Amino acid sequence: MMSHKTTNNLYPQYYKLLKTNMKKKMKKLLFIAAVFGIVACAAPKTDGYTIEGTVTGDSLTTGKVYLTNFSRTEAIKDTADLVDGKFVFEGKVVTPETYAISIDGKKGRIQLFLDNSQIKIEASVEELGKAVVTGGVTNDLVVALKKQKDEVVAKFGLDSLMKEYYKKETTEERKKEISTIYDSYQKEVKVLDSTFLATNPNSFYSLTQFNQNVEDYPIPDMEAKIAGFKALPEFTGNRFLTELEAAIVTLKGLEPGMQAPEFTLNDPSGNPVSLSSIYSQNKITMIDFWAGWCGPCRNFNPTLTGIYKQFNKAGFGIIGVSLDKDAELWNKAIKEDKLTWTQVSDLQYWDCAPAKLYHVRYIPQNIFIDQSGKIVKRKVSEEEMVPFLKEYLGVK
pLDDT tens digits for range 131-179: 999 999 999 999 999 999 999 999 999 999 999 999 999 999 999 999 9
Higher pLDDT among residues 22 and 192, named by residue: 192
In this predicted model, what pLDDT tens digit does every residue of 232-258 receive, in sequence order? 999 999 999 999 999 999 999 999 999
Q: Give the long-range contacts of residues 101-106, CB within 8 A, separation 24 or more.
A: 101/51, 101/53, 101/65, 101/66, 101/67, 101/128, 102/65, 102/66, 102/68, 102/128, 103/55, 103/60, 103/63, 103/64, 103/65, 103/66, 103/128, 104/63, 104/64, 104/65, 104/66, 105/63, 106/60, 106/63
What is the model's pTM?
0.80
Kindly report the CATH number that applies to the domain delimited by 258-393. Answer: 3.40.30.10
Q: Which residues contact 337 (CB under 8 A, 6 or more apart)?
A: 298, 301, 302, 305
Query: Residue 378 pLDDT more than 50?
Result: yes
pLDDT of residue 154: 96
Q: In the CATH hierarchy, which fold is given to the domain comprising 49-135?
A: Immunoglobulin-like (2.60.40)
Pair 241, 230: CB distance under 8 Å: yes
Q: What is the CB-side half-sphere exposure of residue 126 using CA atoms within 13 A?
A: 4
pLDDT of residue 46: 61
Element (H, E) at 389: helix 382-393
**111 closest CA partner among 143, 149, 75, 147:** 143
What share of the chain in percent tops pLDDT 90?
Answer: 84
Show me where the domains of the chain are located.
49-135, 139-200, 208-253, 258-393
Q: Report the range of poorest mean pLDDT among 68-77, 145-154, 355-364, 386-395.
A: 68-77
204 burial via Cβ count (<10 Å: 0-12, 13-18, 19+) = buried
Q: What is the CB-side half-sphere exposure of residue 106 using CA atoms within 13 A?
A: 27
What is the distance between the alpha carbons of residues 3 and 316, in angstroms, rounded to a whole number?
25
In this predicted model, what pLDDT tens digit does every residue of 27-60 receive, in sequence order? 343 344 443 444 444 444 468 999 999 999 877 7
At 323, is the pLDDT very low, low, confident or very high (cuts 50, 70, 90)? very high
